[in-house]
């Protein structure tokens, strides 16, 4: 089983979710994170004093899928939906999951997904 973690721009969340659902991936977990990278934060004003916001709000999506095919489907869906072409679009990381359980049913691994 594979876990896909994607860091994307917050306003793309809705699009990415729709793309994943279209690719038949119907489970995911989302969290709010802050990203540091090439994208320079916008500057904010505070009573006339300007400062750079280094950490930029991002959204992290985590999806666990059963097969490598599903994994590349997911990666493709995210890539397309999260794309704007501007710096800061984010990254996708894939790693291995050795074991999965669905708490409600006690199903394991592929069935649990």
Partner 1 sequence: MRNIFLTVLALLALPIIASAEDVLSSGDTAWMLVATAFVMLMTPAGLALFYAGMTRSKNVLNTMGMSLIAFAVGTLVWVVAGYSIAFGDGDLIGTGKIMLVGITDKSLTGTIPELLFVAFQGTFAAIAVAIASGSMIERVKFSTFTIFAALWILVVYAPITHWAWGGGETLNFGEMDFAGGTVVHINAGVAGFVVAMILGKRKDYGKSAIKPFSPIFAVLGAALLWFGWFGFNAGSQVAADGVAGNAFLITNVAASVGVIGWLIAEYIVYKTPTLIGGASGAIAGLVAITPASGSAGVSDAIIIGLVGGVIGFIGVSKLKKIFKVDDSLDAFWIHGLVGIWGSIATAIFIAPYLMADDYDMGAQLISQIKAIVLTIVYSGVVTAIVFYIASMLTGGGRVDAETEQIGLDERVHGEKAMNL
By CB under 8 A, name the binding residues for partner 1: 11, 14, 42-54
Longest Cα–Cα distance of the chain, Å, equals 58
DSSP state of 79: H
Torsional sign, CA 28, 96, 84, 10: positive
- The whole-angstrom separation of Cα 73 and Cα 23 is 7
Q: Considering only residues 12, 35, 74, 81, which one is a binding residue for ligand ADP as defined by CB under 6 A?
A: 35
* Cβ 47 to partner 1 shortest distance, Å: 5
Cα of 4 vs its chain's centroid, Å? 8
Interface residues with ligand ADP (CB under 6 A)?
A: 7, 27-29, 35-39, 56, 58, 62-64, 87-91, 102, 104, 113
Interface residues with its own copies (CB under 8 A)?
A: 2-3, 6-8, 17, 26-38, 54-55, 58, 60, 64, 75, 78-79, 82-104, 106, 112-113
């Amino acid at each position: 089983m594979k876990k896909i973690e994607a860091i994307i721009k917050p306003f793309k969340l809705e699009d990415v979710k729709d793309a994943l659902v279209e690719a038949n991936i119907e489970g995911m977990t989302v969290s709010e994170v802050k990203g540091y990278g090439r994208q320079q934060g916008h500057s904010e004003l505070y009573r006339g004093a300007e400062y750079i916001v280094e950490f930029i709000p991002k959204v992290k999506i985590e999806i666990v899928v059963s097969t490598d095919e599903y994994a590349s489907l997911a990666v493709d869906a995210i890539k397309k939906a999260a794309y704007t072409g501007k710096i800061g679009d984010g990254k996708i990381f894939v790693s291995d999951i050795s074991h999965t359980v669905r708490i409600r049913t006690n199903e394991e691994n592929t069935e649990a997904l």
